[in-house]
Structure 1
Amino acid sequence: MADRSDNSLTWFTVRHDGVTLPVSRGGRGRPLVLCPGLSCTQADLDELIGLLRRDHDVVAFDLRGHGSASPAERYSFDAFLSDLSAVMAALDLPSAPVLVGYSLGADLAVHYAAECSETLAGLVLIDGANPLPEPFLTDADLAEFRAMAEEGATPDVSLTAEDVFVLGLEMDVVRGGILYRYQRIDLPVHVIMSTSIAGDGAEGRAPRHNRLWRAGVERLLRERPHVSADWIDADHGLVFTHVPDIAEIIRSRLAPC
């Protein structure tokens, strides 16, 4: 682990499983760890991180193959979960942090908390970790999803379109069984969900995906009544389009943690 400071911001690296993960820490107040999602970096979440650092000691990092993190030989849910676990193990925080995850990062947060609840004060899950009643991706969706993976490639992400495509299929399986993980978490949990994860189009996959997304959250709230929820009228890009709203919800919901 190497440390350097940039004004009030501290950077260090965590090395494990053949990868190097860049970690930043800054701000003041209660500890908070932010886990980004697939094809998303801490730089992408800079505005949200900046707002949260006004009253929180915020740790952020890049998953393998993202941002300044090194590429890896394998990209899978378990591999990304090992990245989160390695970062958490490397931290020396004054008290248990709230773990905030976006998209894939929310799913990683739930799986981590199911095994390590004693190390956390609570969870905030942004547009992820949804116990879907049925898979998002049907055979009819695969060609469109593969095309989306190819179009979504960015220089900041080392994953190939095929990596993203395979991970999308894996995430359907993960979310199909994630309710069991929630049952093992004895912490305050708050979810922030988009009303239209797939956009507001009236044709194609959007109506079905939006319906499944809401049905999954409703299922979660029925099965785990202690989980609370806020909806934001947005698509899956809500962490970029509704940053002040999300930051305020996180602040307001952390009181019980």
Structure 2
Amino acid sequence: MLLATGLLLTGCGVAGGNAETADKAGSVPGDRASTSSNTGNTGTGNDTVSVDTEAQKAQETQEVIPQDIPGLGRSTRAEIPSETTQAVVVTGTDEDSSDSSLQVYERDPVAGWTPVTDPWPAHNAKRGWTEDHSQGDLRSPIGVFTLTDAGGLFDDPGTKLTYDQGPAFTASGDGFDGEPLEGSFDYVVAINYNRVPGTTPLDWTRPLGMEKGGGIWIHVDHDGPTQACVSIHRDRMRELLLLLDPEKRPVVVMGDAESLSR
């Protein structure tokens, strides 16, 4: 129970494009070169060139341009592991805002990244975002982090992630806007920021040191800003748990829109 309280104080809110295709290259083949009727020839050099051109055009196929995730700049895209084919993108409206949106994308080897959900309303930390998160700064860390472990007060809804269920996920108290926090941890996904992947979200190990914070989750929204977590509506949280697949090496890409565009 002390562990759950610690997480509440560090990580979560407590008062205090479809692929586009290119046009087919080339156009409809034109007429073949004709021969003079009085020469008696059945073919010429021009005939050979025309036949070769027609054959080349017939073999050309429609080119598919792999799509990137909208809004992500080169530096952000480079942080996504090459083996990752599932990305949860959390985009903050402003560096100092607690309002954001969450959308899930998957990568096809040919078509590239395509959305598999609509954008969902979300909250992040009360003071917005930071590239140098520290405990108690009331900002969510910017970056790309793996997603390997889940849990909650409620039973496993059927996620493919490792799931830890138990009463330690009970949330209590009020948020920054006076809203009740009860139910916030009914479902959670641990964000692998300053934690050991492959452990329960309740694990308190902090490889970067306690001063760098931790216990940062995606969890059920309580209609207000968080300490550092990302929160979405309960139904969307359940949907996210059912979507996440460890075989797709899922990551969360999170930050304000300007930072993610770099």
TM exceeds 0.5?
no
> Which has the higher Rg, Structure 1 or Structure 2?
2
* Higher RCO structure (Cα 8 Å, ≥6 apart): 2
Category of TM-score, reference length = shorter chain: under 0.3
TM-score (norm 1): 0.25
Structure with bigger helix share is: 1
